């Protein structure tokens, strides 16, 4: 396995960064998770645009142009002979001295990992997922804007730990006001009648790339997605529920906090979106 680090591809065993990298010391950096389908990188331009905006928000200079980063991503897939897989694109503040000041960080660092991934067992996609709500709250947008996809994921890690301790594979995180924000690694959608609803980003939800694809699919299917505040009651009483994410794709949810959603199996609207998404991944990619 070959990993790209600052201009060269190295073997997995030799892929190392400095202990003085501020990405390690302080979580000072950004990342994107990207999927490769049938030799095409799905929505690469959208991921790179979000990376650029995250970098701008953090006053972080990208070490390469977006076109150059795109080429590195594609070459990483070729180096590892991947046809389908997952790409982790990371930009850190780079090596600096101890202390929060970024002035000692002369150059940012770029890492690209291209590998395979399986987030959930195949049967979960057929039968649906059972999730819970955890106590850990989503960081308030006023404290850290959720549009910044930073390396600071401790909040989500804690929530994931709580879910796993309760035997759940995923969990809902609420914001400080008690509204649904998102799950630990996925965006959440519910279906009420013919209405498809997802939390507004102002609730603390990431503007996920897959989330946006689902919203575009909703327009195409004449089932537009509404963004608004959701409570746990809204989720519990929904006819259907599903999660979206780059790694998870589109996954049905059939039980939340021990409450059966709808008929306890993937709903017809969820399956319609899932089918449309699978069609889209074969049509919207950058060929490696």
Residues with catalytic function: 149
Residues 6+ apart with CB under 8 A from 118: none
Cα–Cα distance for residue pair 54/286, rounded to 1 Å: 22
Which residues on neighbouring strands pair with residue 89, listed in sequence order? Answer: 32, 112
Q: At what angle do helices 44-57 and 66-79 cross, to 10 degrees?
A: 130
Residue 200 exposed, middle or buried by CB count within 10 Å (0-12, 13-18, 19+): middle
- Helices 209-220, 268-281: crossing angle, 10 deg rounding: 110
Contacts of 213 (CB under 8 A, 6+ apart): 43, 244, 277, 280, 284
Residue 194, C-beta contacts closer than 8 angstroms, at least 6 positions apart: 223, 269
Q: At 282, is the secondary structure helix, strand, or coil?
A: coil
- DSSP classification of residue 105: -
Q: How far is it, in rounded angstroms, from Cα 62 to Cα 107?
A: 9
Rounded distance between C-alpha atoms, residue 138 and residue 151, angstroms: 15
* Backbone phi, psi, residue 162, to 5°: -60, -40
Give first-to-last CA distance, the chain, whole Å: 17
């Amino acid at each position: 396995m070959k990993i790209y680090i600052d201009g060269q591809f190295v073997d997995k065993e030799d892929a190392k960064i400095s202990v003085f990298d501020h990405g390690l010391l302080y979580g000072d950096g950004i990342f994107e998770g990207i999927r490769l389908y049938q030799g095409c990188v799905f929505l690469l331009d959208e991921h790179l645009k979000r990376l650029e905006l995250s970098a701008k928000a953090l006053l972080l200079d990208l070490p390469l142009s977006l076109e150059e980063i795109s080429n590195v991503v594609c070459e990483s897939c070729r180096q590892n002979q991947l046809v389908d897989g997952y790409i982790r694109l990371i930009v850190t503040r780079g090596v600096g001295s101890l202390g929060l000041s970024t002035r000692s960080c002369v150059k940012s660092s770029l890492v690209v990992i291209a590998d395979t991934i399986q987030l959930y067992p195949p049967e979960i996609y057929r039968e649906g997922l059972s999730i819970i709500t955890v106590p850990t709250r989503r960081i308030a947008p006023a404290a850290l804007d959720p549009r910044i996809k930073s390396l600071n994921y401790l909040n989500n890690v804690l929530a994931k730990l709580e879910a796993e301790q309760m035997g759940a594979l995923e969990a809902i995180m609420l914001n400080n006001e008690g509204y649904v924000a998102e799950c630990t690694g996925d965006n959440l959608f519910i279906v009420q009648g013919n209405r498809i609803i997802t939390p507004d980003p102002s609730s603390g939800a990431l503007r996920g790339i897959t989330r946006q694809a689902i919203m575009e699919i909703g327009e195409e299917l004449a089932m537009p997605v509404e963004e608004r505040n959701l409570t746990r009651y809204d989720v519990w009483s929904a006819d259907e529920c599903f999660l979206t994410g780059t790694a998870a794709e589109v996954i049905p949810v059939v039980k939340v906090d021990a409450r059966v959603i709808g008929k306890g199996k993937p709903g017809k609207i969820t399956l319609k979106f899932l089918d449309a998404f699978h069609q889209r991944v074969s049509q919207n990619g950058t060929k490696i």
